[in-house]
């Protein structure tokens, strides 16, 4: 068997629930306003799942778009990886429900939980499966219903999050123009308490979130900047080799600071959070999809993906799309 040197990402697709909650809508719920939210986060609106709409529903709808874009059958999928922090049930995995809904009878399926870094973690796992020959087509999905674990009475966190899903196929690279070049992952459990969704319920949400806002802000900039520098250095690349940086879409000010620290032009960062807020592990595929649809990201562009999430977990990937 020939050794597979690279995998590739294709069929990027997203799904957003129909319900939209604007900043003005939020101002009717908590003591806030549109100007305050936009100035501090860049977020203008977020999509909210219905009460009977769950993470596996969003994941499946995104996955169906990916399969259609790639013109492949669910039976051609060998593995399904779902990154989520907000499953409907603690057990079994969201991925096996997606497998059932898709009819992907030949796949094995499992979840990973790396919070907002989940899509980058999932890409690294999928890349390894392809290179080792354990799978030919991996369906990678980041999906979240953050609204179901958000305390809508807490104005410090409720303005930040939304629901959505993003997906892609990871398969063997067929040429040198479309490939996953590298991934690099990190974690630091000593900062476990910076972002936590506790099991206890509060104000009718399924989890009680606590977040050290200023610490998370500083950690996000530092961790992502360091991982970007590390992965570029290890692959004998510089920031000039990158066409677009695709950061986790948590806060516009974080993205701006990240670009400044890495001497990367701010207009070369894909920013989509104004439309969907922080959807945790779904933000990176959503941002890529937004960049493609807007005409910014073109075939063969070099993308630098980077994210940080609770754990703390973080990581980066270099992808020639």
Q: What is the model's pLDDT at position 189? A: 97
* Known catalytic membership, residue 248: yes
Task: Say whether both 168 and 183 belong to one domain.
Answer: no
Q: What is the model's pLDDT at position 201? A: 65
What is the pLDDT of the chain when averaged over all its residues? 95
Q: Is residue 208 very low, low, confident or very high in pLDDT (cuts 50, 70, 90)?
A: confident
Q: What is the mean pLDDT of residues 19-25?
A: 98
In the numeric block, which tokens belong to residue 76?
A: 């051609």
Among 172, 200, 221, the domain boundary falls at: 172
Q: What is the model's pLDDT at position 203? A: 60
Residues 48 and 163: beta-carbon distance below 8 Å: yes
Task: Say whether both 62 and 116 belong to one domain.
Answer: yes
Q: What percent of the chain has pLDDT over 70?
A: 97
CA distance 162 to 17: 10
Number of domains making up the chain: 2
Q: What is the model's pLDDT at position 5? A: 82
Task: Say whether both 21 and 156 belong to one domain.
Answer: yes
Residues in the chain: 321
CA distances from 158 to 79, 218, 307 (A): 34, 20, 21
Q: What is the mean pLDDT of residues 207-232?
A: 93
Domain range for 73 = 7-172
Q: What is the model's pLDDT at position 205? A: 62
Q: What is the model's pLDDT at position 86? A: 95
Task: Say whether both 164 and 249 belong to one domain.
Answer: no
Q: What is the mean pLDDT of residues 126-150?
A: 96
Task: Say whether both 223 and 311 belong to one domain.
Answer: yes
CATH number at residue 23: 3.40.47.10
User: Could you tell me if residue 286 is inside a domain?
Assistant: yes
Task: Say whether both 99 and 194 belong to one domain.
Answer: no
Give the DSSP per-residue string, 143-185.
Answer: EEEGGGG--TT-HHHHTTB-EEEEEEEEEE--STTSEEEEEEE
Q: What is the mean pLDDT of residues 96-120?
A: 98
Give the tens place of pLDDT for each residue, 152-167. Answer: 988 889 999 999 999 9
Give the tens place of pLDDT for each residue, 255-265. Answer: 999 999 999 99
* Known catalytic membership, residue 158: no
Task: Say whether both 187 and 152 belong to one domain.
Answer: no
For residue 112, is pLDDT > 80? yes
Q: What percent of the chain has pLDDT over 90?
A: 90
For residue 87, is pLDDT > 60? yes
For residue 275, is pLDDT > 60? yes
Q: Is residue 202 very low, low, confident or very high in pLDDT (cuts 50, 70, 90)?
A: low
Q: What is the model's pLDDT at position 198? A: 87
Task: Say whether both 213 and 73 belong to one domain.
Answer: no
Task: Say whether both 167 and 221 belong to one domain.
Answer: no
Q: What is the mean pLDDT of residues 299-312?
A: 97
User: Could you tell me if residue 22 is inside a domain?
Assistant: yes
Query: 79, 259, 278, 290: which is the annotated catalytic residue?
Result: 278
Task: Say whether both 109 and 14 belong to one domain.
Answer: yes
Among 172, 207, 240, the domain boundary falls at: 172
Give the DSSP per-residue string, 253-283.
Answer: HHHHHHHHHTT--GGGB---HHHH-B-GGGH
Q: What is the model's pLDDT at position 210? A: 86
CA distance 67 to 52: 25
Task: Say whether both 165 and 245 belong to one domain.
Answer: no
Q: What is the mean pLDDT of residues 273-284?
A: 98
Query: 6, 47, 248, 276: which is the annotated catalytic residue?
Result: 248
Residues 179 and 317: beta-carbon distance below 8 Å: no
For residue 176, is pLDDT > 90? no
In the numeric block, which tokens belong to residue 9?
A: 């990402």
Query: 116, 158, 205, 223: which is the annotated catalytic residue?
Result: 116
Q: What is the model's pLDDT at position 24? A: 97
Among 138, 156, 172, the domain boundary falls at: 172
Task: Say whether both 92 and 211 belong to one domain.
Answer: no
């Amino acid at each position: 068997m020939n050794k597979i040197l690279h995998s590739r990402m294709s069929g990027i697709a997203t799904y957003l629930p129909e319900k939209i909650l604007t900043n003005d809508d939020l101002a009717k719920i908590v003591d806030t306003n549109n100007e305050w939210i936009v100035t501090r986060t860049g977020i203008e609106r977020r999509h909210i799942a219905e009460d009977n709409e769950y993470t596996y529903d969003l994941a499946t709808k995104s996955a169906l778009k990916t399969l259609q874009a790639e013109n492949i059958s669910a039976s051609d999928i060998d593995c399904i990886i779902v990154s989520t922090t907000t499953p409907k049930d603690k057990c079994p995995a969201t991925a096996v429900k997606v497998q059932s809904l898709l009819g992907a009878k030949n796949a094995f399926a499992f979840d990973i939980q790396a919070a907002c870094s989940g899509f980058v973690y999932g890409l690294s796992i999928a890349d390894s499966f392809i290179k080792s020959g354990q799978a030919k087509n991996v369906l990678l999905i980041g999906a979240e219903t953050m609204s179901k674990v958000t305390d809508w009475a807490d104005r410090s966190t409720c303005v930040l999050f939304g629901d959505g899903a993003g997906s892609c196929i990871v398969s063997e690279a067929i040429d040198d123009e479309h490939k996953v070049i590298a991934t690099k992952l990190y974690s630091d459990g000593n900062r476990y308490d910076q972002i936590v969704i506790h099991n206890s319920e509060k104000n009718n949400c399924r989890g009680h979130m606590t977040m050290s806002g200023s610490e998370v802000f500083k950690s996000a900039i530092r961790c992502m900047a360091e991982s970007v520098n590390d992965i570029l250095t290890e692959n004998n690349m510089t920031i000039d080799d990158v066409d677009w940086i695709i950061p986790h879409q948590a806060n516009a000010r974080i993205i701006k600071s990240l670009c400044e620290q890495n001497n990367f032009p701010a207009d070369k960062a894909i920013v989509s959070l104004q439309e969907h807020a922080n959807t945790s592990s779904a933000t990176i595929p959503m941002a890529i999809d937004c960049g493609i649809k807007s005409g910014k990201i073109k075939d063969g562009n070099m993308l630098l993906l980077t994210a940080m999430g609770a754990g703390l977990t973080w990581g980066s990937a270099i992808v020639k799309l």
